[in-house]
């Protein structure tokens, strides 16, 4: 099983071959493994195996794929040897059985029987050592019959040039050697599983040796090194150069670039070998080695050049196709042209949801998730990667302080490098007064708790933990005393404070902050880091391929990234805190840029990720890119905008864990806040001089489209109930439901075939059934909640547009998840008070087809009842 898994047929066929003396062609890596096993009697030693491989490479370097295949081929040869021994043991048992049968027949004969007639049938068997040894053993009783049979056997052995003593010794020698070989094979198979073959591979790889000697290859993490090797393999396979020559050429081009750019430093130089292997200068290397791209590579590169149009045009075309098909179906029912136009206009937004889900699914089938190259800082971070991890938070009680301190301690235990510091970045909640005694008491409690952490985890030099608290300022727009510009203001003032600017609203510090902080890692209060997540992100952002370069003249980041957004995974909540709602909606299905930062076409194709407020950023580049871009009291949802202006990347191999709300009321509250924040970006979307790239503007437009989907879905459903008879109204409703099912359905279809051979059929189909159940439950809950979602999104949009163009007030209205959780009760009465809009939509949705005397009202009745 392991051999079949590790040596797919396609990979096996690509291995270089050599011809044996009999003319047969076998992979030379297999011949090398077989030679080693033959000379070591199936004994496995990583050192001995390395020696024989290096001896071969002294004449001809092995390819990268061959070196990776050697452990699997070694396992295959050992298993083949074990098979041969098993066959020999089976034949030995058969020969012993035949010898026992002959002995039984001979010993049972009387004096007058013709023994020669019986024994003559076994002349060929007498040449077999196992048969002869067993027959000698059985005929040792000294009887007359046995003596005559022994004489026959000795004559047959003498004819073959042997004798009884010799065949017994030979048989025992064979048995002993078989036992030794079998033991070596079993121990060898165990040892193969115990050896870290990645370390062994990098020790014997000539390409790794070359890159280590002449570049910073050794400082990279394993996956980055593997990216370099994969790139070298791909280019060598489609050119006339060997892998070693491709690596040499990449190093040569990097050296020439370094000489040509002696006056330029930093990421503008593009002199790291990574730029030529996996970066923007790869085309130069491909041209130098005569690389011939495949058709699929050519298509992917052409698609990348299309930019945002590569997404918008296909999605628009699919949406139009759905509308045309629906329009023809409606026309065949005899509906009037105005009715058809109305229904298609309302169906356009839900149709775009299905079209986008289909497009994302199809594109993802042909793309591999990208990994950013980075240094390996898990064993320690250099001073030039010094990072401050901050948790922006509101502290209105001791419970808030304790929760944040507990989370910060967990962050530290997962990221213990000396160059990582932690800070509680706090504000008091909004108030009618600037400060009161309770505020001072809470702040002092936070400082005491931070001091306790510093005492528990002492460090040399600057303290490891800080509390950075801001005083309130009066905001006329909000009519309250509050932290200036909320979270956005915190990060902005923190950046100024780190660069020595004391003109901020932060209260005086007891101890100075660490010097030369390069990066800031911002986390939400309900976010938890995984082990070494901060070091991994810092290692990526410090690499020349990703290090940001800000063009002061153009006021944009022209190379690298300012922000790294890790992948966000919902936590597995269990016990009393778990809920069915959370289990259904926290499953990672579809593309929701706020909840799940998963690998998508934006990063994989265009190298452009979406910042969701939890990630690592470069302090100087962040401040330079955003300076003067955003006016006060105008933007609530600033994360996506900051990522667009400063350039963000999605890092799929670094994970953060976040709690998904256990109650719908909390989830609805944050969706309302997100929708308001999205519509506040309308000015940036419509202004081509805002500095927001076109692709990012499309992301913002897509968010607006997503907030409109529930509204148009409900209106399209009501139109169908009113204008269509019962049967056609039910079919129209099924079409609307299908647009919601599109993403889960494609995910389930894609998951039908197992992606890994490690999974048993029972486990695979059990997981598939679970996906079907949760996917169906997800759509069912969306349908039940659709009326309230439509009411809530309508409220958020109208409220935002009024504030944006009329009142210019309450633009920074904000309620944290913990506040939303504390405010509302989890009972039926509270939910009716919150979701009264759904009742209104349900009543109106039923009343309209009833008044219109449409038989579609029977369909409306069921949905109105659920709503």
Model pLDDT for residues 411-445, shown as the tens digit of each residue? 999 999 999 999 999 999 999 999 999 999 999 99
3-class secondary-structure state, position 536: helix
Please indicate, yes or no, whether residues 483 and 538 belong to a single structural domain of this protein: yes
Percent of the chain with pLDDT over 90: 61
What are the helix and strand counts (H, E) for the chain? 35, 14
Please indicate, yes or no, whether residues 409 and 360 belong to a single structural domain of this protein: no
In a domain, 93, yes or no: yes
Instruction: Give the whole-angstrom CA distance, residue 325 versus residue 318.
Output: 11
Please indicate, yes or no, whether residues 540 and 635 belong to a single structural domain of this protein: yes
In a domain, 369, yes or no: no
Please indicate, yes or no, whether residues 464 and 487 belong to a single structural domain of this protein: yes
pLDDT over threshold 70, residue 635? yes
Q: What is the pLDDT of residue 591?
A: 39
Q: What is the pLDDT of residue 724?
A: 94
Nearest alpha-carbon partner for 344 in 315, 368, 364, 319: 319
Instruction: Give the whole-angstrom CA distance, residue 149 versus residue 137.
Output: 12
pLDDT over threshold 90, residue 650? yes
| Angle (CA) 304 306 308, round 5° | 100
Q: Residue 628: what are its φ and ψ, rounded to 5°? A: 70, 10
How many CB atoms neighbour CB 134 within 10 A?
A: 21
Domain boundary among the residues 152, 170, 199 is at: 199
Instruction: Give the whole-angstrom CA distance, residue 67 versus residue 399.
Output: 56
Contact 639, 564 (CB under 8 A): no
Instruction: Give the whole-angstrom CA distance, residue 169 versus residue 612.
Output: 77
Q: Which of 145-149, 778-782, 824-828 has the highest mean pLDDT?
A: 778-782
pLDDT over threshold 50, residue 589? no
What's the domain count of the chain? Answer: 4
Token pair belonging to 379: 């064993």
Instruction: Give the whole-angstrom CA distance, residue 25 versus residue 440.
Output: 82
Residue position matching structure tokens 């994989």: 604
In a domain, 401, yes or no: yes
Contact 350, 779 (CB under 8 A): no
Sign of CA dihedral 125, 128, 130, 134: positive
Instruction: Give the whole-angstrom CA distance, residue 410 versus residue 413.
Output: 5
* Structure confidence at residue 615 as a pLDDT band (50, 70, 90): very high
Q: What is the pLDDT of residue 8?
A: 81
Average pLDDT over residues 277-285: 94
Give the structural domain span for 413: 383-662
Read off the pLDDT of residues 472-498 as tens digits, 9 standing for 90 and up. Answer: 999 999 999 999 999 999 999 999 999
Instruction: Give the whole-angstrom CA distance, residue 431 versus residue 441.
Output: 16
Lowest-confidence segment of 485-489, 664-668, 719-723, 847-851 by average pLDDT:
664-668
In a domain, 320, yes or no: no
Spatial neighbors of 289 by CB under 8 A, at least 6 apart, are 235, 239, 240, 241, 245, 246, 249
Q: What is the pLDDT of residue 598?
A: 45
- Classify burial at 688, counting beta carbons within 10 Å of its beta carbon; exposed 0-12, middle 13-18, buried 19 or more: exposed
Per-residue burial over 40-55, b if 16 or more Cβ lie within 10 Å, else e, is eebbbebeebeeebee
Please indicate, yes or no, whether residues 341 and 395 belong to a single structural domain of this protein: no
Instruction: Give the whole-angstrom CA distance, residue 720 versus residue 722.
Output: 5
Q: Which of 126-130, 214-218, 359-363 has the highest mean pLDDT?
A: 214-218
Read off the pLDDT of residues 749-778 as tens digits, 9 standing for 90 and up. Answer: 666 766 666 667 777 777 778 778 877 888
Q: What is the pLDDT of residue 138?
A: 84
Please indicate, yes or no, whether residues 360 and 390 belong to a single structural domain of this protein: no
Read off the pLDDT of residues 820-840 as tens digits, 9 standing for 90 and up. Answer: 666 666 778 888 888 899 999
Nearest alpha-carbon partner for 856 in 365, 417, 145, 343: 343
Domain boundary among the residues 179, 199, 219 is at: 199
In a domain, 57, yes or no: yes
Contact 396, 431 (CB under 8 A): no
Q: Residue 434: what are its φ and ψ, rounded to 5°? A: -70, -40
- Classify burial at 755, counting beta carbons within 10 Å of its beta carbon; exposed 0-12, middle 13-18, buried 19 or more: exposed
How many CB atoms neighbour CB 831 within 10 A?
A: 18
Please indicate, yes or no, whether residues 183 and 116 belong to a single structural domain of this protein: yes
Please indicate, yes or no, whether residues 266 and 408 belong to a single structural domain of this protein: no
Contact 700, 685 (CB under 8 A): yes
What's 478's domain CATH number? Answer: 3.90.550.10
How many CB atoms neighbour CB 419 within 10 A?
A: 22
Q: What is the pLDDT of residue 139?
A: 82
Contact 691, 408 (CB under 8 A): no
Instruction: Give the whole-angstrom CA distance, residue 704 versus residue 681.
Output: 10
Instruction: Give the whole-angstrom CA distance, residue 712 versus residue 841.
Output: 13
Token pair belonging to 45: 């030693």
Domain boundary among the residues 293, 313, 343 is at: 293
Please indicate, yes or no, whether residues 763 and 640 belong to a single structural domain of this protein: no
Token pair belonging to 786: 């659709």
Q: What is the pLDDT of residue 405?
A: 96
* Length of the chain as a residue count: 867
Instruction: Give the whole-angstrom CA distance, residue 77 versus residue 80.
Output: 5
Lowest-confidence segment of 34-43, 564-573, 839-848 by average pLDDT:
564-573
Q: What is the pLDDT of residue 186?
A: 94
pLDDT over threshold 50, residue 265? no
Average pLDDT over residues 519-524: 96
pLDDT over threshold 50, residue 596? no
List residues bridging with 387 in a β-sheet: 420, 519
Q: What is the pLDDT of residue 448?
A: 96
Nearest alpha-carbon partner for 563 in 603, 614, 487, 526: 614
Average pLDDT over residues 489-517: 93
Average pLDDT over residues 598-619: 86
Q: What is the pLDDT of residue 260?
A: 67
Q: What is the pLDDT of residue 825?
A: 66
In a domain, 166, yes or no: yes
Please indicate, yes or no, whether residues 463 and 588 belong to a single structural domain of this protein: yes
Q: What is the pTM of this model?
A: 0.87
β 387-394/420-427 pair status: parallel
Q: What is the pLDDT of residue 235?
A: 95
Q: Residue 308: what are its φ and ψ, rounded to 5°? A: -65, -25
Cα 184 to its chain centre, rounded Å, is 40
Category of 60 on φ-ψ map: left (φ > 0), alpha (ψ -120 to 50) or beta: beta
For 469, how many CA atoms within 13 A lie in the half-sphere containing its CB?
24
pLDDT over threshold 70, residue 668? yes
Average pLDDT over residues 454-469: 93
Average pLDDT over residues 276-287: 94
Instruction: Give the whole-angstrom CA distance, residue 318 versus residue 324.
Output: 10
Q: Which of 140-149, 548-557, 585-594, 810-819 has the highest mean pLDDT?
A: 548-557
Percent of the chain with pLDDT over 70: 92
Q: H-helix or E-strand containing 616? A: strand 615-618
In a domain, 668, yes or no: no
Average pLDDT over residues 223-245: 94
Read off the pLDDT of residues 296-338 as tens digits, 9 standing for 90 and up. Answer: 899 988 988 888 898 999 999 999 999 999 999 999 988 999 9
Q: H-helix or E-strand containing 655? A: strand 648-658
Contact 121, 127 (CB under 8 A): no
Nearest alpha-carbon partner for 641 in 598, 709, 593: 593
Average pLDDT value over all residues in the chain:
88
Please indicate, yes or no, whether residues 639 and 600 belong to a single structural domain of this protein: yes
pLDDT over threshold 50, residue 592? no
Q: For residues 629, 635, 637 and 642, what is the CA-based torsion angle, rounded to 10 degrees? A: 10
Q: What is the CA radius of gyration of the chain?
A: 37
Token pair belonging to 411: 């962050």
Ordered alpha helix ranges (H), 195-308: 197-204, 206-214, 222-237, 243-260, 273-277, 282-289, 295-305
Q: What is the pLDDT of residue 268?
A: 43
Please indicate, yes or no, whether residues 359 and 413 belong to a single structural domain of this protein: no
Spatial neighbors of 334 by CB under 8 A, at least 6 apart, are none
Instruction: Give the whole-angstrom CA distance, residue 488 versus residue 496.
Output: 13
Token pair belonging to 186: 């079993």
Token pair belonging to 634: 């105008």
In a domain, 694, yes or no: no
Q: For residues 774, 778, 779 and 781, what is the CA-based torsion angle, rounded to 10 degrees? A: 130
């Amino acid at each position: 099983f392991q051999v079949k898994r590790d040596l797919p047929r396609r990979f096996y066929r690509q291995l270089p071959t050599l011809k044996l003396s009999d003319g047969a062609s076998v992979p030379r890596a297999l011949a090398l493994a077989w030679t080693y096993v033959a000379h070591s009697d199936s004994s496995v030693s990583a050192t001995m195996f390395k020696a024989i491989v290096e001896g071969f490479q002294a004449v001809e370097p092995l390819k990268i794929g061959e070196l990776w295949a050697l452990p699997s081929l070694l396992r295959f040869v050992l298993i083949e040897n074990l098979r041969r021994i098993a066959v020999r043991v089976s034949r030995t048992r058969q020969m012993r059985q035949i010898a026992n049968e002959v002995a039984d027949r001979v010993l049972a004969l009387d004096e007058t029987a013709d023994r020669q007639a019986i024994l003559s049938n076994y002349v060929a068997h007498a040449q077999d050592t196992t048969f002869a040894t067993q027959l000698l053993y059985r005929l040792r009783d000294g009887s007359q019959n046995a003596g005559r049979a022994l004489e026959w056997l000795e004559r047959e052995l003498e004819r073959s040039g042997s004798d009884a003593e010799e065949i017994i010794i030979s048989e025992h020698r064979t048995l002993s050697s078989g036992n030794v070989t079998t033991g070596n094979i079993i121990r060898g198979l165990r040892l193969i599983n115990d050896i870290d073959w990645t370390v062994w591979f990098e020790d014997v790889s000539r390409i790794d040796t070359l890159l280590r000697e002449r570049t910073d290859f050794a400082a990279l993490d394993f996956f980055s090194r593997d990216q370099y090797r994969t790139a070298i393999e791909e280019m060598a396979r489609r050119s006339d150069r060997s892998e070693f020559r491709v690596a040499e050429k990449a190093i040569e081009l990097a050296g020439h670039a370094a000489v040509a750019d002696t006056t330029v430093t930093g990421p503008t130089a593009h002199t790291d070998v990574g730029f030529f292997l996996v970066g923007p200068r790869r085309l130069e290397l491909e041209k130098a080695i005569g690389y011939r791209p495949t058709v699929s590579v050519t298509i992917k590169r052409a698609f990348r050049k299309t930019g945002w149009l590569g997404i918008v045009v296909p999605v628009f075309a699919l949406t139009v196709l759905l509308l045309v098909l629906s329009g023809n179906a409606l026309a065949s029912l005899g509906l009037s042209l105005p009715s058809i136009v109305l229904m298609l206009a309302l169906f356009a937004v839900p149709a775009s949801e299905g079209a986008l889900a289909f497009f994302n699914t199809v594109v993802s089938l042909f793309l591999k998730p990208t990994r950013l190259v980075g240094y390996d800082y898990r064993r320690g971070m250099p001073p030039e990667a010094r990072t401050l991890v901050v948790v922006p938070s509101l502290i209105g009680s001791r419970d808030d302080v304790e929760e944040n301190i507990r989370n910060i301690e967990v962050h530290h235990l997962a990221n213990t490098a000396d160059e990582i510091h932690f800070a509680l970045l706090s504000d008091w909640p909004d108030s009618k007064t600037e400060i009161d005694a309770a505020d001072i008491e809470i702040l002092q409690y936070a400082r005491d708790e931070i001091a306790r952490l510093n005492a528990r985890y002492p460090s040399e030099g600057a303290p490891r933990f800080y509390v950075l608290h801001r005083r309130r300022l009066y905001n006329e727009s909000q009519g309250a005393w509050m932290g200036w510009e909320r979270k956005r203001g915190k990060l902005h003032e923190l950046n100024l404070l780190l660069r020595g600017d004391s003109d901020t609203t932060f209260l005086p510090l007891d101890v100075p902050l660490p010097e030369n902080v390069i990066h800031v890692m911002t986390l939400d209060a309900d976010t938890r880091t995984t082990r070494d997540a901060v070091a991994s992100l810092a290692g990526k952002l410090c690499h020349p391929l990703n290090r940001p370069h800000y063009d002061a003249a153009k006021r944009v980041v022209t190379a690298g990234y300012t922000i790294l957004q890790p992948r966000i995974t919902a936590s597995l909540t269990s016990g009393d805190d778990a809920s069915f709602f959370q289990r259904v909606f926290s499953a990672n299905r579809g593309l929701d840029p706020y909840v799940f930062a998963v690998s998508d076409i934006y990063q994989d194709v265009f190298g452009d990720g979406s910042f969701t407020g939890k990630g690592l950023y470069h302090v100087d580049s962040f401040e330079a890119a955003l300076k003067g871009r955003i006016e006060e009291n105008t933007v609530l949802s600033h994360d996506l905008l900051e990522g667009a202006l400063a350039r963000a990347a999605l890092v799929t191999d670094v994970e953060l864990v976040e709690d998904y709300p256990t109650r719908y009321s909390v989830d609805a509250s944050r969706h309302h806040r997100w929708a308001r924040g999205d519509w506040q970006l309308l000015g940036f979307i419509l202004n081509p001089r805002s500095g927001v790239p076109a692709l990012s503007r499309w992301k913002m437009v897509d968010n607006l489209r997503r907030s409109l989907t529930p509204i148009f879905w409900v209106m399209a459903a009501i139109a169908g109930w009113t204008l269509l008879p019962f049967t056609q109204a039910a079919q129209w409703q099924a079409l609307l439901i299908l647009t919601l099912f599109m993403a889960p359905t494609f995910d389930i279809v894609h998951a039908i075939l197992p992606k890994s051979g490690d999974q048993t059929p029972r486990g695979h189909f059990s997981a598939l059934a679970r996906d079907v159940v949760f996917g169906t439950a997800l759509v069912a809950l969306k349908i039940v909640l659709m009326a309230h979602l439509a009411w809530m999104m309508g409220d958020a949009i109208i409220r935002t547009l009024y504030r944006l163009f009329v009142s210019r007030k309450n633009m920074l209205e904000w309620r944290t998840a913990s506040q939303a959780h504390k405010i509302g009760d989890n009972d039926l009465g509270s939910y009716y008070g919150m979701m009264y809009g759904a009742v209104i939509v349900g009543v109106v949705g039923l009343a309209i087809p009833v008044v219109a005397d449409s038989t579609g009202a029977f369909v409306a009745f069921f949905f109105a009842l659920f709503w």
